[in-house]
Amino acid sequence: MTILGKMLVFVNLVFSFLAFAWALALYTNRVDYTDNPAAEDRPAGELVAKKAALKDMDATFRRSVAALRNARRELAAVETGTAPEYLNGRPADRDWYEAELDLLETGSPKGAPVRQLHDLVTAGGQLKLDDKGRPVLVNAPSPDDKAPLRSLADMRTERKQVLEDTRKQQVKLLDLTQKDIQLTEDIIGTEDGSRKGLRRRLEDEKVKLADVYREHERVQPLLINAAVDAQLILQRQDILMRRIEELRPKQPDAPR
């Protein structure tokens, strides 16, 4: 037998001991899935706890069925109105709720007496009920405490009118904004410089006026000198004319 064979036999022996230890551990620590009761050397089987839980669930189910039957009998009494605390049963309650909802939706019908809208009454976070099992209602306060609360239809109409007025004001505001932009551009000009604003033109005119003043200061002495030279020229012209008259030969006198 070669050395490799001996090694394989030794490995097989070690693996066999490991498998034996694993099987022994499973056998000695196995889970008891039976309904055997607990003893001194072993705990109760798994089925014992399952059966106890099932028994509790069955008792709870029986109590729930009994409660459901009682609730059905009470519901039938409410539906037919045979219970003393629920006169006329659920149909009357349905009519009452529909009347309150119609009042909230559309308000009092035309030609009928005006009814004020109602609000719920709570006590300790719970609705307060009357002797018929219906919510206790009080007159609903208005936002300004001056007029009764209006119906939902009236509020929708007012909301529609407010939205329409808001839209018109927005259009008006847009027009005013465009006019403001136009006037602003007339004052300061456009960003690309295609249009000069009044402010830029005013600055240009101030520059031109300053140039005119400087030109006037520069030309005024020249004007004075020109006036003096003109006067001198006129004087010389007068002197020359008199001299020409003196040098011009005189005509002889005509014979008599």
Look at 132 and 1; give whichever has higher pLDDT: 132
pLDDT digit string, tens, across residues 174-184: 999 999 988 88
H or E, element range at 122 = strand 122-123
- Split at pLDDT 50, 70, 90, the class of 251 is low
Query: pLDDT tens across 72-129, in order?
Result: 777 766 655 555 555 555 667 777 778 777 777 776 655 444 455 566 777 777 878 7
Task: Indicate the average pLDDT of the chain.
Answer: 78
Mean pLDDT of 215-227: 87
Count CB atoms within 10 A of the CB of residue 44: 15
Range in 13-27, 47-61, 140-154 with the lowest mean pLDDT: 140-154
Output the pTM of the full model. 0.36
Res 172: pLDDT? 94
Asked if residue 171 has pLDDT above 90, the reply is yes
Whether the Cβ atoms of residue 137 and residue 121 lie closer than 8 Å to each other: yes
| Separation of alpha carbons 210 and 208, rounded Å | 5
Q: Which residue has the higher pLDDT, 242 or 254?
A: 242
Q: What is residue 196's three-state secondary structure?
A: coil
More confident of the two residues 175 and 49: 175
**For the chain, domain boundaries:** 29-80, 84-150
| Residues near 148 by beta carbon (within 8 Å), at least 6 away in sequence | 116, 117, 139, 140, 142
pLDDT in tens, 133-144: 777 777 666 555
Average pLDDT over every residue of 193-221: 85
Lowest mean pLDDT among 28-32, 101-105, 122-126, 200-204: 28-32
